[in-house]
Structure 1
Amino acid sequence: MPELKWQAVADGLERKCAAPTDAQITVARALGTDLGQTTPVPVAAAELRVLLRAPLELVLARDFGDEEYEVLLDLAARTDLAVPSMDELKCREVLNAWLRVARDRESAAALRQLEPGVDDVVTARDRRRGPDLYGEISSVGANGRLHFRGGHGLGTAPHRVTRITRPSEDGYLDQLSLAREYAAAVQSNPSRITRAEEAQLAPWRIGFPATQAAVEALRNALEAADDEAAMQRLLEKHPALLAGTVVGTHDTWVRPQVQLGNHYMADFMIAGETSLGLRWTLVELESPVSRLTNPGNKRATKTLRHAVDQIEDWRKWLSNNLHYARSARGADGLGLPGITAEVPGLIIMAREDADDAAADIRELHARRSHIQVRTYDWLMRINESPDPLRRDAPDQRLRLA
């Protein structure tokens, strides 16, 4: 179990760096050699392995070169550690032990400077994922590593921390938000949700296919509607019409008008459960009397470009607010478990027109932006033929997995 108090960890690291253990001294004497009184524990262990290499048939690391020794010198200089000369080290086994000692000294010194506690939030350098990482401390490991809430191996070495904020300090809530969003963004499989998280979606669960009455209502709306507001009202009343647009192997949920921050509102968000987990789709509606392409140049219309921009804006918002989006509504979140910033998009607009370059437009956005562009006639077709055996038919439902 990781230690929860930095003092105990720092004390333990410093003890290992100060002198060999009684057991190591006993073994060394039995082998006819003496360990120096200030030989660090990792170095004593390495020297004993070298002595026992032949009788125990141990396979030890090979010889090392100047480049590796320079790494040790650099780390030793940062930690004010006196290390043997290159010739005295003799083999990489001992070199590696001195490297561990230098790292332990660095961690112990950093812990004493930071005095980190559970719930503190830190900012640290992270060359793998970018210039900075943010973390909410859950514990301190026995090697000095700061472990963060959120799992997935999140954490950092204490000497990499550039800022630490305590719960009692100004700005803590802002830093805590950054840490939670960072943890959400690096989850390896956020779509795997718990039954409790799934239960949050119960009000929007859909049993499809849509009824014949819903299909007739859609047909009538398309004959009379001249803007997207009429289609929004219809689909909110008959959400099963949208549930049929995705291919899921389990349940499907359709949420209307999901507010994303202060500036955005998704017309609909569809969640379909597959064997891989929950998969979301962002839905943007446009007018059924709009066009996909301009009659002259066959390029995307201003309406279509606006719809694509809307979905991209929603994705950008999600990338900065994933923890908030996934948190339960009862915890002041949006209640969108498993959602990611790479969520697919679906634009429904226009009617099918032989003069519209619809196929080219669909292929372009599906390939570049992971956004499907479909017509209301497409929506009508998939609801007129709800046979599950046809769900994989070309140009029918969107695949979730």
Structure 2
Amino acid sequence: MPELRWQVVAESLERKCKAPTAEQITIARALALPLGQATPALVAAAELRVLLRMPLALTLAGDFGDDEYEVLLDLANRTDLAVPEMDKLGCRELLNAWLRVARDRESAAALRRLKPAVDDVVTARDRRKGPDIHGEISSIGANGRLHFRGGHGLGTAPHRVTRITRPGEDGYLDQLHLAREHAAAVQSNPARITRAQEAQLERWRINFPATPAAIEALRNALETADEEAAMQRLLEKHPALLAGTVVGTHDTWIRPQVQLGNHYMADFMIAGQTSLGVRWTLVELESPVSRLTNPGNRRATATLRHAVDQIEDWRRWLSTNLHYARSARDADGLGLPGITAEVPGLIIMARETYDDAAAEIRELHARRSHIQVRTYDWLMRINESPDPLRRDAPDQRLRLA
């Protein structure tokens, strides 16, 4: 079982790397096996297994080669361990035992150097030579491995640790932030949220479809509005108008104006729940009188490029603040359970015109950056005919955006 005190683990590892146990010595004498006091207990156990392999019908590891012995020599040199010559080992069973001794010595020495405790935060070298990893210690394994909070097998060997920061020390909160973000980034299935997390979203749950009054308000706004702010106010007042823009076979939640850090504000964030979990969408609004493309060259307008940049900025922010974003609001988080840094984007802007290269622009961004570019006319149509089966592509029957 995992331990909370490094001393207990270090002493256990050191015992196995020292003299054989009394029981091992007794058995060795009965079998006439010469077992020196300098033989580590782990190696003594391997020698007994090799001796008893025939009468006990044990299946043991076979032969080994020069490359494997070089691994042992390298590890032994790092831990100041004297190991037998290659021809004295005889089989991989004994080689593996000596490898285990060397690893345990390395772990025990690292534990005594670090003196790690629960809640300490460590920085460690990634064994694949990738970026450093950060972790908040939750316990210590019997083999010396430091287990991190966040599950998913997170942890590291103590000898890989390059920095340890304890609660109350300078920089601890910064290191804790890195550790929690690292744990959030490797979460295997964040879309599977709990009932408690669903309850945190209750105030933003939407009943779909929108009412006839809300649809009429949208129709009137499209005839008179000439700025983004007017559409923002309308959709905040009637959020069900946005519910059909995402696939949600169970619940849909819509949050307006979500502050992301000190510099960003998402116009809306929509979560649709299906049998596979929760899928969030970032929504950026632009003016209904803007254009998707320039009349002359049919390329994306500055307004559209700005909207795309906004969503990319939000994603970059999320990539380094996932734990904060997913944490509950009453725990000083944003309360966006299940969100990921790869969250899809939706831009709603402009009206449909026959001289606009809308379809080409939409396809380009959907393919390259997973951002859907749609018009307010599209929003009007999916509310006039709210067919859930057509929400992913409700305008396939149309020639324009």
TM-score, structure 1 length as denominator? Answer: 0.96
Question: 1:67 maps to which residue?
Answer: 67
Question: 2:183 maps to which residue?
Answer: 183
Q: Aligned partners of 1:371 and 1:231: how far apart in 2?
A: 20
Runs of 4+ aligned structure 1 residues displaced above 4 Å come to: 389-394
CA deviations over 1:32-73 (Å, ceiling 9, x no partner): 213221222221222122112222333322211111111111
Q: Aligned partners of 1:106 and 1:37: how far apart in 2?
A: 21
Question: 2:399 maps to which residue?
Answer: none
What displacement does 1:23 show? Answer: 2.6
Does the aligned pair in 2 maintain the 1:25–1:34 contact within 8 Å? no
Q: Aligned partners of 1:385 and 1:131: how far apart in 2?
A: 49
Question: 2:325 maps to which residue?
Answer: 325
Question: 1:126 maps to which residue?
Answer: 126
Q: Aligned partners of 1:196 and 1:38: how far apart in 2?
A: 57
What displacement does 1:389 show? Answer: 5.1
CA deviations over 1:330-387 (Å, ceiling 9, x no partner): 1111111111111110011111112111111111111110111111111111100123
Write the letter of the residue equivalent to 2:157.
A
**Counterparts of residues 90-129 of structure 1 (less than 5 Å):** 90-128=90-128
Q: Does 2:232 match 1:232?
A: yes
What displacement does 1:274 show? Answer: 1.1
Q: Aligned partners of 2:101 and 2:245: how far apart in 1?
A: 60
Question: 2:152 maps to which residue?
Answer: 152
Write the letter of the residue equivalent to 2:188.
S
Question: 2:275 maps to which residue?
Answer: 275
Q: Aligned partners of 1:218 and 1:288: how far apart in 2?
A: 11
Q: Aligned partners of 1:347 and 1:128: how far apart in 2?
A: 39
What displacement does 1:392 show? Answer: 5.9
Does the aligned pair in 2 maintain the 1:42–1:97 contact within 8 Å? yes
Q: Aligned partners of 2:115 and 2:347: how far apart in 1?
A: 52
Long gaps (5+) in structure 2: 397-401
Could you say if the C-alpha distance between residues 61 and 122 of structure 1 is closer, same or farther in structure 2, counting changes exceeding 3 Å?
A: same
CA deviations over 1:156-178 (Å, ceiling 9, x no partner): 11101111111121111111111
- 3-state secondary structure, aligned to 1:359: helix
Q: Aligned partners of 1:185 and 1:389: how far apart in 2?
A: 32
Q: Aligned partners of 2:354 and 2:296: how far apart in 1?
A: 13
Does the aligned pair in 2 maintain the 1:18–1:39 contact within 8 Å? yes
Q: Does 2:264 match 1:264?
A: yes
Moved more, 56-65 or 338-347: 56-65
Write the letter of the residue equivalent to 1:176.
L
Question: 2:302 maps to which residue?
Answer: 302
Q: Aligned partners of 1:118 and 1:154: how far apart in 2?
A: 14
Write the letter of the residue equivalent to 2:230.
A
Q: Aligned partners of 1:88 and 1:394: how far apart in 2?
A: 74
- 3-state secondary structure, aligned to 2:125: strand
Q: Aligned partners of 1:361 and 1:147: how far apart in 2?
A: 48
Question: 2:339 maps to which residue?
Answer: 339
**Counterparts of residues 2-401 of structure 1 (less than 5 Å):** 2-128=2-128, 130-388=130-388, 390-391=390-391, 395=395
Q: CA RMSD in A?
A: 1.4
- 3-state secondary structure, aligned to 2:226: coil
Could you say if the C-alpha distance between residues 255 and 208 of structure 1 is closer, same or farther in structure 2, counting changes exceeding 3 Å?
A: same
Question: 1:399 maps to which residue?
Answer: none
Q: Aligned partners of 2:389 and 2:173: how far apart in 1?
A: 51
Q: Aligned partners of 2:387 and 2:300: how far apart in 1?
A: 33
Moved more, 40-49 or 258-267: 40-49
What displacement does 1:4 show? Answer: 0.5
Q: Aligned partners of 2:253 and 2:392: how far apart in 1?
A: 20
Q: Aligned partners of 1:336 and 1:296: how far apart in 2?
A: 42
TM-score, structure 2 length as denominator? Answer: 0.96
CA deviations over 1:190-238 (Å, ceiling 9, x no partner): 1111111111111100011001111111111011111111110100000
Percent of residue pairs bearing the same amino acid type: 86
CA deviations over 1:235-294 (Å, ceiling 9, x no partner): 000000101111111100000000001100000000111111111000000111111111
- 3-state secondary structure, aligned to 1:182: helix
Long gaps (5+) in structure 1: 397-401
Q: Aligned partners of 2:378 and 2:394: how far apart in 1?
A: 12
- 3-state secondary structure, aligned to 2:174: helix
Q: Aligned partners of 1:265 and 1:127: how far apart in 2?
A: 38
